[in-house]
Structure 1
Amino acid sequence: MEQLAEASGVSVRAISDMERGHSRAPQPRTLAALASALGLTGEEHDLLAGSARAQRMRTVRPRLCEPPRAVDDFIGRDVEIGRITRRADKVIVVHGQPGVGKTALAVHVAARLTDGYEQRLYLDLRGVDPEPLEPGEAARQLLRALDVGPRRIADDPDERCSQIRAELGDRRCLLILDNAADEAQLRPLLPGPGGSTVLITSRRMLGGLEGVLRIGLDPFTPDESAGLLRAIAGQAEDPAAAGQVDEVARLCGHLPLALRIAGTRLATRTTWTVGNLLDRLADADRRLAVLSTGDTGVAAAFALSHAQLSGEGRALFRRLTHVPGLDFAAGLVAVLTGADPHDAGDRLDELVELGLLQAEGADRYRFHDLIRLFAAERLRVEEPAGARAATRQRMIRWLLGTAITAGRSFGAGDDVTDADEAAAWLQAESGNWLGAMRDCGDDQLIVDVAEALHWFADTMVAWPGWYEVYRLSRDAAARLPDPRQRIVQLNHFAWAAARCAHRYDEGAAAARTAYRLAVDLGDLGEQSWALQYEGDARLLAGDHERALAAYRQAEPLAETAGDHDSYLQLNLGIGMALGELGRHEEALERLRRTPYEIENRPVNPRSALAARMTGGIHTARALIGLGRYREALEEGEAAMAFALEFGEPGKIGQVHLVAGLAHAGLGAVDPARADLGHAVALLHHGPMRQMAVERLAAL
């Protein structure tokens, strides 16, 4: 038997079981391996095969633990399949959120991994049922499937688990343990080193299992999603419907289960177009209902994991739908639930472990779109309207209060560490505090947030959200009784429209309105700011003469009002406008006044840093215009230090631009290419980016 086992690849135990009658109907591939090893040909081979066929005919019981049918239209997962097939002698855990296609992948791979396995087995461990399958019962079912006679199966559950480990260790089997509950359910069943492969699927990561290969599944890519829909439903193959197919995939969250249900609904309704399906999915309140068919549904899959949550976990799960942004950090948990902040990580880990929440990096989390809809349904069902409103207002006020504190600490400019921490929070939570502004309903609070973020906004100019922030504050201020607040927020809006949204005419018009209101109020300081923002909009639009006129009109107003920050910015504006008009000597004279003005005026530290940076950039540009390239490089080096401290990528890109232009003027082509390449990467809009693109192309 040992020689036959070595020659055939069939284990000694399997041969012994067949010889003694414990395994009476061997697999065809096992029989073929034995026949080949024995050298059977002709009549002898036919006699053995006929005997096996007859024995299988006499075996009336159905085959136990037979794997489910693999789908014919399986799509994607090439990377994951490659990792599994390369490690086919290991224990492999495939984990992910409900509906992501874990079982489909395991069954598909099992159908492909046929060579050398005596038997393929499948067992649903019912891990999300109220009572998952006990390890001892799982072992009993697997032993019966391996044709171990009933008399040989131990009565004691622990002994049965030992038996299945031994059987799997001695044989070469492919075992799928689907829908595992936890590590305690699995450990008694897993064999040691040997020829068997165990594929485990679970909604949990099963981090307590050692020595296993873990493969986490994400939703499909857009191309994979569209491919699955086309494979299922003929209507989706129409090239004219490609855009609608992509939108259906997006509304399904690229979740394989949702895509399969949507495709099946379309395929079974031959009079429907993709547009008909899209119309039904577009209603967020009905989307989960549409994504169900027969005994399968996306919401039902989510509900199985939801049922396993603790009471605290369920409360957090449903209340997280109040979060307005796409992702969030743990700080919001205590606000939403009233729990101890130190418990936040445990509650979030519970949701992640069950596949109901996705971890994004080290400390951020997000919902899958469809799970978010399911959580919102649970919120409506499980909490009264008054409680929902109170929780939402508590979260909104916490987000906006924190944004005000962060903005003010950043604007003060006294503590660099505080400013860096404040900036990091404001950037990470921008989608949440902006969403809170939209839903706030308190005009004065909206204005307070916008005002507190004024200095921070200069460090993140490329963010398009500023246009909405200051549109909200403009509208809120117009409803308040204080006319000065209206003027200030109109000016902020003019800046955001021109600088951030590149709506130059709209920015200039808002600034002119603010100027007229400031004149009526007699506020010289806001008049100067309004004219400055008009000049900025004109400068960006390429109307350099009108920009220069606006700056010159504003300068004496700022001086008279004693608004030193405005005066400093206007001096820079005049220098920039003169440079754009080709009046480089005059521009240089203006721009080189910047350090003197900073030293002799009590300006905000952030304003001073911005002025040193901007002044250096445009001084270098003026020197380039005069052909003084080495001096321009020196100015650019000094400006880079200020730009790096300031931290706004666009300004760093402008420094690279002037360095590239100066290098090009000196004939240093390689350094010029490098700097201009950085400028193109960092500048996303406007004439300076166009200049970088054109000069790089010329080189």
Structure 2
Amino acid sequence: MARKLGAASTRGAEKERSIITPTSFAESLRQYRHAARLTLEQLAEASGVSARTLSDMERGRSTGPQHRTVTALAQALSLGEDDRKQFIDLARDGRLRDHWTRPTGLCELPRSVDDFTGRATELAWTDDFVRAGDAPGAAGVALITGAAGLGKTTFAVRAAHVLRPSFPDGVLFVDLFGMSPRPLTVDDALMHLLRALGTADRLMPHDLLERASLYRSLLRQRRVLVVLDNAGSEEQIRPILPGGGPSRALVTSRRLLAGLEGVHRLSLGPLPPVEAAELLTGIVAKRGSSDGGAAISELAQFCSGLPLALRIVGNRLVSRPAWPAAEFADRLADKERRLDQLRAGDLKVATAFGMSYEQLAVLARRVFRRLSLVPGRDFDADLADLSSPEEAGHWLRVNVDNWLGALRTAASGGRHSAVLDCAESMYWFSDRWMHAPHWHEVFTLGAEAAAALGDPARQATQLNSLAWVHLVPRDDPETTLRYTAQAMDLATRSGATAQIAWAHHNTGGALRRLGRLDEATASETQAAEMFKANGDIDAYCQCLGALGTCLRDAGHYAEALEQYLDLWALLNDDRSGMTPSIAAFTRPIALARVGECLGLLGHRTEAIIKLTEAISLMEQAQLPVPQARSLETLAALLADEGRTGESRQAYARAAEVFEAIGDTEAAGRCRDLATAPH
């Protein structure tokens, strides 16, 4: 028995010596696994380390796995204290050899610029991304997107330098050349990264899937930050993203790469004006001459917060110390030559934009070139998706600089037909935005274009529109009468009966404003008869309303109320033949007139109800001019009823709307009444 125990002891000692002898981690792991009588799959299940990774370790592909991986293996192998210590030490030695023998200069991170400015919020975002990435199941990829020249690469490099202490196993950088005619292939990108991670060429898999698998397994064992700059597509970067573990990736791209799932996204925008000026000031400080703050601010403004443009401007000034910044600002003031000035050596804003342009399809390039003709500062894509007059009206308000600038450009270029078509198409919208200051110019250009085309009927239309401008928004009835006289003459000579009727209608409005009520009634009656004969029910209803107003101004309140109630019934009759949008536009105005007449007849309670409803409808339809006047009428009725608080609120609201439409006199009057003692 003793002899058997002794023999067993001897065999145990020999087994221990055979395991301790190896000098590499790979050999040690293989012998400990064999001694434990475990297959790769069994050890993988016991330790939580994949069989593929274990195989790479035993073959020497991974000579220095991470500490937590090694301790998990030691526990699964049930190693004693001494064996465990030596096992862990061999892995640590392997990691050190990996670090010092890794080929230098491969995928090295570029230097960070000394004068990097701003982006504090965005840098904090990348720090949060790294910290959040430690949570189970969190995405290990941050995607930084933005247009050309916004400094995505500079920002990503800066962030990587700041984050370097959090990645003890290294920071790697690869330019994918996504916007160039020949982007870096996935095969080549993986080869560069694997070499940087210490994989010898003789061990480099030839198959793409195997190469990507090896890359992910190496990242899973280490804490590495990979910066993938200038990605061109989802397909280009999917195989080179970390597949889990402690490693992280920062990806930059001009494209949104919307197909990437489960990534953190950061959209980089222009620098704010203060930071833009600060960056430019920091760059030009190197040239040793003092530049006026005003000139620097102006230069920064011309660069529109674009870091590339700011860098170019700063570098040009630094390279020519005697060149005044103000002189350079004068050059950049010329919009037609600005892009040519934004170049310094191999840095060119035009080149950055050109790379994106070259990626576009032929049709998209044509659209891009035509967009350059848009005269406003900004434009949007909403014009391609307008489904109602309300949406069209919203677009016209937001993009007034663009369509009005286009109209001016067409007029200066002698494109009379286009100008006239545009002016005529704005007729419906002018009623909805009557307080806008542009209508006199729009319809003047239209009238001039019609005259140049020798079309008196269409010229009469534009002159009637100008008469409306001076009647409603400008409240200048004398000028209105001059335009209606011209319109009447042209319309009569050309036989344009519709424009003759409109001239009578506008004349009636001007005469009423001048207190010539009998003449106004005659003109409006003649216009109403002509519109009715022509079957223009929309215009006929406007004349009915105008006749009611003449009766009201003449003090015939009961007759005026009857006229407005007839109009109200017609507006709500589905068989009337009115255009629904015109009826919806006219309805709140007619209802307000009913309320006014009720108030004048002493029926204040009913009047307040009608006016309140009308004002609500006007706000929905965006009719601020009649809304402001109705609010003032409502406020007076509320005051007469002793409802002081409500009256003050109505006057205050009327003041706000009058202020918004530019009627400062009426705004001041209502503001005074809102605060006056009662």
Which category describes the TM-score, using the shorter chain as reference length?
0.5 to 0.7
> Using the alignment, how far apart are the partners of 2:237 and 2:490 within structure 1?
76
**What amino acid does structure 2 have at the position aligned with 1:458?**
D
**What amino acid does structure 1 have at the position aligned with 2:251?**
I
Counterpart of 1:94 in 2: which secondary structure? strand
**What amino acid does structure 2 have at the position aligned with 1:594?**
Y
Selected match of 1:490 from 456, 463, 477: 463
Query: What is the CA-CA distance between 1:528 and the residue it aligns to?
Result: 3.5
Selected match of 2:445 from 469, 472, 490: 472
| Contact 2:175/2:228 (<8 A) preserved | yes
Offset from partner CA, 1:600-646 (integer Å, 9 cap, x none): 99996677665553354466567778997534421213423653674
Could you say which residue in structure 1 is the equivalent of 2:86? none
**Residue 554, structure 1, aligned to residue 520, structure 2:** yes
> Using the alignment, how far apart are the partners of 2:423 and 2:193 within structure 1?
65
Counterpart of 2:166 in 1: which secondary structure? coil
Query: What is the CA-CA distance between 1:140 and the residue it aligns to?
Result: 2.8
> Using the alignment, how far apart are the partners of 1:589 and 1:233 within structure 2?
78
| Contact 2:183/2:232 (<8 A) preserved | yes
Could you say which residue in structure 1 is the equivalent of 2:483? 514
| Contact 1:229/1:236 (<8 A) preserved | no
Residues 102 and 673 of structure 1, relative CA distance in 2, 3 Å threshold? farther
> Using the alignment, how far apart are the partners of 1:236 and 1:97 within structure 2?
33
Could you say which residue in structure 2 is the equivalent of 1:91? 141
> Using the alignment, how far apart are the partners of 2:345 and 2:204 within structure 1?
39
Unaligned 5+ segments in structure 2 are 1-24, 26-48, 67-92, 134-139, 493-499, 532-539
Residues 514 and 77 of structure 1, relative CA distance in 2, 3 Å threshold? same
> Using the alignment, how far apart are the partners of 1:81 and 1:166 within structure 2?
29
Could you say which residue in structure 2 is the equivalent of 1:594? 564
| Contact 1:493/1:510 (<8 A) preserved | no
Offset from partner CA, 1:94-121 (integer Å, 9 cap, x none): 1121112211221222222244321222
Query: What is the CA-CA distance between 1:179 and the residue it aligns to?
Result: 0.8
> Using the alignment, how far apart are the partners of 2:289 and 2:437 within structure 1?
37
| Contact 1:525/1:557 (<8 A) preserved | no
Query: What is the CA-CA distance between 1:285 and the residue it aligns to?
Result: 3.2
Offset from partner CA, 1:376-431 (integer Å, 9 cap, x none): xxxxxxxxxxxxxxxxxxxxxxxxxxxxxx9xxxxxxxxxx975576577667766
**Residue 294, structure 1, aligned to residue 357, structure 2:** no
Could you say which residue in structure 1 is the equivalent of 2:588? 613
Q: Please list, as runs of the form range in 1=range in 2, the aligned pairs for 1:169-184 lying within 5 A after superposition.
A: 169-184=220-235
Q: Please list, as runs of the form range in 1=range in 2, the aligned pairs for 1:30-429 lying within 5 A after superposition.
A: 62-88=104-130, 89=133, 90-118=140-168, 119-148=170-199, 152-233=203-284, 241-242=293-294, 247-322=298-373
Q: Please list, as runs of the form range in 1=range in 2, the aligned pairs for 1:639-650 lying within 5 A after superposition.
A: 639-640=614-615, 642-643=617-618, 646-650=621-625
Unaligned 5+ segments in structure 1 are 2-10, 27-50, 329-358, 365-405, 407-416, 537-546
* Number of aligned positions between the proteins: 558
> Using the alignment, how far apart are the partners of 2:219 and 2:391 within structure 1?
55
> Using the alignment, how far apart are the partners of 1:475 and 1:464 within structure 2?
19
Offset from partner CA, 1:145-176 (integer Å, 9 cap, x none): 33455555445444332222122222122221
**What amino acid does structure 1 have at the position aligned with 2:469?**
A
> Using the alignment, how far apart are the partners of 2:114 and 2:626 within structure 1?
54
| Contact 2:524/2:547 (<8 A) preserved | no
**What amino acid does structure 1 have at the position aligned with 2:108?**
E
Residues 486 and 307 of structure 1, relative CA distance in 2, 3 Å threshold? closer
| Contact 1:491/1:510 (<8 A) preserved | no
Residues 196 and 132 of structure 1, relative CA distance in 2, 3 Å threshold? same
Residues 621 and 82 of structure 1, relative CA distance in 2, 3 Å threshold? farther
What TM-score results when the alignment is normalised by the length of structure 1? 0.66
**Residue 456, structure 1, aligned to residue 429, structure 2:** yes
**What amino acid does structure 1 have at the position aligned with 2:116?**
F
> Using the alignment, how far apart are the partners of 1:237 and 1:467 within structure 2?
51
Query: What is the CA-CA distance between 1:492 and the residue it aligns to?
Result: 1.3
> Using the alignment, how far apart are the partners of 1:551 and 1:249 within structure 2?
60
Query: What is the CA-CA distance between 1:657 and the residue it aligns to?
Result: 5.1
| Contact 1:660/1:675 (<8 A) preserved | yes
**Residue 630, structure 1, aligned to residue 605, structure 2:** yes
- Asked which structure has the greater CA Rg, the reply is 2
Counterpart of 2:312 in 1: which secondary structure? helix
Counterpart of 1:191 in 2: which secondary structure? coil
Counterpart of 2:514 in 1: which secondary structure? helix
Residues 572 and 148 of structure 1, relative CA distance in 2, 3 Å threshold? farther
| Contact 1:85/1:113 (<8 A) preserved | yes
Residues 510 and 78 of structure 1, relative CA distance in 2, 3 Å threshold? farther
Query: What is the CA-CA distance between 1:251 and the residue it aligns to?
Result: 3.6
Identity over the aligned pairs, expressed in percent? 32
| Contact 2:172/2:225 (<8 A) preserved | yes
Query: What is the CA-CA distance between 1:143 and the residue it aligns to?
Result: 3.0
Query: What is the CA-CA distance between 1:485 and the residue it aligns to?
Result: 4.3
Query: What is the CA-CA distance between 1:91 and the residue it aligns to?
Result: 0.4
Counterpart of 1:65 in 2: which secondary structure? coil
Counterpart of 1:113 in 2: which secondary structure? helix
| Contact 2:242/2:248 (<8 A) preserved | no
Residues 108 and 667 of structure 1, relative CA distance in 2, 3 Å threshold? farther
Counterpart of 2:354 in 1: which secondary structure? helix
| Contact 1:572/1:594 (<8 A) preserved | yes
> Using the alignment, how far apart are the partners of 2:566 and 2:582 within structure 1?
14
**What amino acid does structure 1 have at the position aligned with 2:468?**
W
Query: What is the CA-CA distance between 1:470 and the residue it aligns to?
Result: 0.7
Query: What is the CA-CA distance between 1:202 and the residue it aligns to?
Result: 0.8
| Contact 1:225/1:249 (<8 A) preserved | yes
Residues 499 and 597 of structure 1, relative CA distance in 2, 3 Å threshold? closer
What TM-score results when the alignment is normalised by the length of structure 2? 0.68
Comparing 513-522 with 599-608, greater Cα deviation is found at 599-608
Comparing 196-205 with 676-685, greater Cα deviation is found at 676-685
**What amino acid does structure 2 have at the position aligned with 1:637?**
T
| Contact 1:487/1:526 (<8 A) preserved | no
> Using the alignment, how far apart are the partners of 1:427 and 1:236 within structure 2?
48
Counterpart of 1:549 in 2: which secondary structure? coil
| Contact 1:467/1:493 (<8 A) preserved | yes
Residues 226 and 509 of structure 1, relative CA distance in 2, 3 Å threshold? farther
Query: What is the CA-CA distance between 1:198 and the residue it aligns to?
Result: 0.8
> Using the alignment, how far apart are the partners of 2:179 and 2:312 within structure 1?
21
> Using the alignment, how far apart are the partners of 1:668 and 1:552 within structure 2?
38
